[in-house]
Amino acid sequence: MTGSTPDVIVARGLAVGHGGVPVVPDIELTVRARSSLALVGTNGSGKSTLLKTMVGLVPIVAGELRVLGERPGGAPRQIAYLAQFHAAGFILPLRAIEVVRMGRYPNLGLFGRMRTEDHDLVAWALETMDVADLARLPLRSLSGGQQQRVYLAQVLARRADLVVLDEPTAGLDAGGRERYLEAFAGELARGAAIVTATHDIAEAVEYDQVLLLARRVVALGPGAEVLTADRLLDTFGIVIRDPHAHHAGRFVVAERAHGAPQVIDIERPPD
Amino acid sequence: MGPLFDPFLDNEFMLRALLAGILVSISCAIVGTFVVLRGLAFIGDALAHGVLPGIAGAALLGLPGILGAAVGALAMIAGVSLVTRLTRLSSDTAIGLLFVSMLALGVVIVSGSSSFAGDLVGILFGQILGTSVEDVLVQAVAVVVIAVIAAICARPFLLLSFDPEQADVAGFPSRRYHAIMLLLIALTVIVSFQTVGTLLVFGMLLAPAGAGALLAHRIERMMAWAAAIGALSTYLGLLLSYHLDVAAAATIVLVAAAIFFVVLAVTNLRDQAPAWAAPRSGERDRP
């Protein structure tokens, strides 16, 4: 890897889905190192399926997908993945620090011993997500937001070249969100590529690329270009717009269960 | 030494039973921890009963029971995997049906042979008081094998319990380690059935590990609690059965289950107590 920005993800004519049935066809995208991609779409739009395909959990339906130069799942040491749901959190007798240590397992394998640098990475990750003081508490005694910070610390401890996150800010409070944004800016600066599924338009604007999904590719491009009222309407069905704000974060979206797509302008009294 | 120790010091069969029971407790603590954490109780139950026709068939053919148990367990694992992969029903239904079929097949085989109808009770409830020195040795070897495999697979097993997808992404294929886990359950059942019986090995897999899960905040400690509770249950169960002249293996499992429910009640009361009475700090768990 001589270039400063190698391709981390390359998809050509990719179709993702379950059991050979495509959910999203014809995906063309390239994600390079030090760059970020946000997947924006409703529940069931194919965001999670695409993420799972990238990390090798779901087989490709059609087309081509190279991840870190390999087939998906071929480079486990270089990939960190955080799923949307964590069912086991309340049953397992685990302390927060053990969850973060799991982030080092791909590099350690079955027999490798945790070395000083591994312990340092774990401590740094806990510190970065501001959960160092919770490290020795049982995971099941933590709140949902605290648990999410611990899971994000596990991702940081991984030191991955590709970080794949499914709704990482769900359940985080304002402080947690701030920590998360700082930490993942740091991951980008370190050279990692980040792919995130999100509902949050204001957050998506910050990404280098945004992929709008609605069981098809609605649009792909820089956030400011892609996140327009028309395209969001295409994706979600209801767009609430603040005409007085001037950045793309002025949109709030909602899923339309039935009826025609709709743009709602916020009426504000004149100053 | 008094009534607490004399039964074991005066009777070699009681001492052998105690040793075998403690060894079973250790195997069941290691394997049972993952059975409880991964919610494999039903598969464990199915395996425990799936060995029955194997054991009965082996007895008919004059082969060692342990061999028949191994064949039965492997058939059960193969059946469960196949049926779960083929059917769109939840795996409970498939496993439940397999388990009932295997149990029924075992009873049919036993009932068809007039010679060993009485042995059915032995297979189901064990013959811990008839434990031989060889049985104890087999148990000891099994404990070592199970402990070594569990130690090698500690990381993938933890990831698998945490989230099977995480295990896959981390490069530890969840299917492979799930299969190893099932084989460990099978191994535990196969070597333990002669001592505590197929029905009761299941109780020893669940009760001590279940109590351990309630008491510990770390997996190693959960196993240690489970082993200690299993060993204590063995000792108390044997002692009670000796003095009260009741079935030994069943008493052991009853004691283990009673300890589980006491721990459940106490931890529930503790968790409902006001904050000052239920320390949430990690101090007691600091290494």
In a domain, A234, yes or no: no
Question: Is the pLDDT score of A268 beyond 90?
Answer: no
CA-nearest residue to A142 within chain B is: B280
Distance CA A263, CA B252 (A): 69
ipTM of the complex model? 0.86
Chain B residues with CB inside 8 Å of A91's CB?
A: 37, 213
Q: Is B218 left (phi over 0), alpha (psi -120 to 50) or beta?
A: beta
> B285, A138: Cβ pair inside 8 Å?
yes
Residue A54, burial from CB neighbour count under 10 angstroms (0-12, 13-18, 19+): buried
> A55, B169: Cβ pair inside 8 Å?
yes
Residue whose C-alpha is closest to residue B124's, from B201, B35, B42? B201
**Coil, strand or helix: which one is B253?**
helix
Distance CA B47, CA B38 (A): 16
Encode pLDDT of A15-65 as tens digits. Answer: 999 988 999 999 999 999 999 999 998 888 899 999 999 999 999 999 999
pLDDT of residue A61: 94
Distances from the Cα of A226 to the Cαs of A39, A194, A237, B3, B24, in angstroms? 12, 18, 16, 82, 63
* Residue A224: both structure tokens together: 């400011």
Q: Percent of chain B having pLDDT more than 70?
A: 91
Q: Out of B161, B280, B286, whose CB is closest to A92?
A: B161
Please tell me the total number of residues recorded for chain B in this structure: 287
Mean pLDDT of A222-236: 80
Q: Indicate the pLDDT class of residue A180, thresholds 50, 70 and 90.
A: very high
Q: Indicate the pLDDT class of residue B65, thresholds 50, 70 and 90.
A: confident
Question: Is the pLDDT score of B1 beyond 70?
Answer: no
Specify the CATH number for the domain of residue A45. Answer: 3.40.50.300
Q: Indicate the pLDDT class of residue B202, thresholds 50, 70 and 90.
A: confident
Phi, psi of A17, deg, nearest 5: 175, -165
Topology of domain B6-268, per CATH? Answer: ABC transporter involved in vitamin B12 uptake, BtuC (1.10.3470)
Question: Is the pLDDT score of B115 beyond 50?
Answer: yes
Extended beta strands in A36-185, E state = 36-41, 62-67, 79-82, 162-166
CB atoms within 10 A of CB A3: 8
Encode pLDDT of B142-194 as tens digits. Answer: 999 999 999 999 999 999 998 899 999 999 999 899 999 999 999 999 888 87
Residue A156, burial from CB neighbour count under 10 angstroms (0-12, 13-18, 19+): buried
Which residue blocks in chain B are alpha helix, DSSP H? 6-10, 12-37, 41-61, 65-86, 91-112, 119-125, 133-152, 154-162, 164-169, 174-196, 198-215, 219-244, 248-272
pLDDT of residue A10: 94
- The boundaries of the domain holding residue A133 are 7-229
Burial B226-261 (b: 16+ CB within 10 A, else e): bbbbbbbbbbbbbbbbbeeeebbbbbbbbbbbebbe
Separation in Å, CA of B217 to nearest CA in chain A: 4
Encode pLDDT of A113-163 as tens digits. Answer: 999 999 999 999 999 999 999 999 998 888 889 999 999 999 999 999 999
pLDDT of residue B282: 40
In a domain, A236, yes or no: no
pLDDT of residue B142: 94
Q: Out of A76, A94, A138, whose CB is closest to B171?
A: A76
pLDDT of residue B274: 53
Chain A touched by B278 (CB under 8 Å) = no
Q: Which pTM does this prediction carry?
A: 0.87
pLDDT of residue A2: 45
* Residue A215: both structure tokens together: 């069981």
Question: Is the pLDDT score of A221 beyond 70?
Answer: yes
CA-nearest residue to A111 within chain B is: B152
Question: Is the pLDDT score of B58 beyond 90?
Answer: no
In a domain, A257, yes or no: no
In a domain, A37, yes or no: yes
Q: Out of A76, A88, A141, whose CB is closest to B280?
A: A141
Residue type for position A40:
V
Q: Out of A83, A111, A135, whose CB is closest to B163?
A: A83
Q: Indicate the pLDDT class of residue A87, thresholds 50, 70 and 90.
A: low
Encode pLDDT of B135-144 as tens digits. Answer: 899 999 999 9
> B166, A88: Cβ pair inside 8 Å?
no
In a mutational test of the A interface, the residue from B37, B155, B175, B263 whose CB has the highest number of chain A CBs within 10 Å is B155
Distances from the Cα of B287 to the Cαs of A95, B91, B154, B202, B282, in angstroms? 12, 40, 19, 32, 10
* Residue B181: both structure tokens together: 């886990």
Chain A touched by B219 (CB under 8 Å) = yes
DSSP-derived secondary structure letter, B281: S
> B169, A76: Cβ pair inside 8 Å?
yes
Question: Is the pLDDT score of B90 beyond 60?
Answer: yes
Please, are residues A23 and A60 in contact by the beta-carbon 8 Å criterion? no
In a domain, A264, yes or no: no
Distance CA A105, CA A97 (A): 13
User: What does the DSSP assignment read for A48-91?
Assistant: HHHHHHHTTSS---EEEEEETTBSTTS-GGGEEEE-S--GGGGT
Encode pLDDT of B257-285 as tens digits. Answer: 999 999 999 988 887 755 444 444 443 44
Phi, psi of A75, deg, nearest 5: -130, 65
Domain count, chain A: 1
In a domain, A208, yes or no: yes
Q: Percent of chain B having pLDDT more than 90?
A: 45
> A91, B37: Cβ pair inside 8 Å?
yes
Q: What is the rounded (10 degree) CA torsion for A256, A260, A263, A267?
A: -100
pLDDT of residue A90: 60
Distance of CA B228 to the CA centre of its chain: 14
Encode pLDDT of B23-55 as tens digits. Answer: 999 999 999 999 999 888 888 888 888 888 888
Chain A residues with CB inside 8 Å of B221's CB?
A: 93
CA-nearest residue to B35 within chain A is: A92
Q: Percent of chain A having pLDDT more than 90?
A: 58
In a domain, A251, yes or no: no
pLDDT of residue B285: 40
Question: Is the pLDDT score of A86 beyond 80?
Answer: no
